[in-house]
Amino acid sequence: MLRVQAGDLGAFAELVERFQEMVHGLALSILRRPEDAEEAAQDAFVKLFRARSQFDGTRSLEPWLLRIAGNACRDKLRRRRASDLPLARSEDGDLLTDLPDTRNAHGASRQFVDHSVRGELEQLSDKVRQPLELKYLRGLTNQQIATALGVSVSSVKVQLARGKDILASRLQGVRDV
């Protein structure tokens, strides 16, 4: 980032390449529309570049970038009504219903469980759903989630616990499949 502050555009391109997946994943988890997530991610990097002189070189870049990206997402959300939020869709318009298979399970029963979990996750409020997605689908730490969402780490922990409890109770019968 110090090279970016000095005007090195190549360094900025490297920075974008290094963090674009994380920023886009955050934006997609918050905004739920791929096209909006792409726009918010681009906005975040533009804002980062414009504010490069304000960066404190003694601190880590990642939390600052996550805060900028979270703010860009909230700005985007303010511009549209919450009731218009769709389910996440792939580039070709298909619903994104598959969760990563972290347990190497096979067959139709695993797909049923994945679909059930995704369906219940979609039913949660944004306040509960976003931390769960950022933690378990995007791999962010509690601190990164707190920074991105503009809340405290303890609030993230509470929302994660609440979300897991809600999902566990709603998926009680699915576990035995």
CB atoms < 10 A from the CB of 89, how many? 14
For residues 58 and 55, give the distance between their C-alpha atoms in angstroms, rounded to a whole number.
9
Inform me whether the pLDDT recorded for 105 exceeds 50.
Answer: no
User: Residue 139: what pLDDT?
Assistant: 85
Percent of the chain topping pLDDT 70: 76
pLDDT at 138: 81
- The answer to whether 68 and 44 have CB atoms below 8 angstroms apart is yes
**pTM assigned to the model:** 0.62
Name all domains of the chain by residue range, CATH numbers in brackets: 2-82 (1.10.1740.10), 99-170 (1.10.10.10)
Question: How far apart, in whole angstroms, are the C-alpha atoms of residue 163 and residue 148?
Answer: 18
Phi-psi region of 137 (alpha: psi -120 to 50; beta: other; left: phi over 0): alpha
pLDDT, tens digit, for every residue of 112-148? 656 667 778 888 888 888 898 888 888 889 999 999 8
Copy the structure tokens of residue 96.
């994104």
The answer to whether the CB of 27 falls within 8 A of the CB of 70 is no
Rounded Cα distance, 15 and 137, in Å: 23
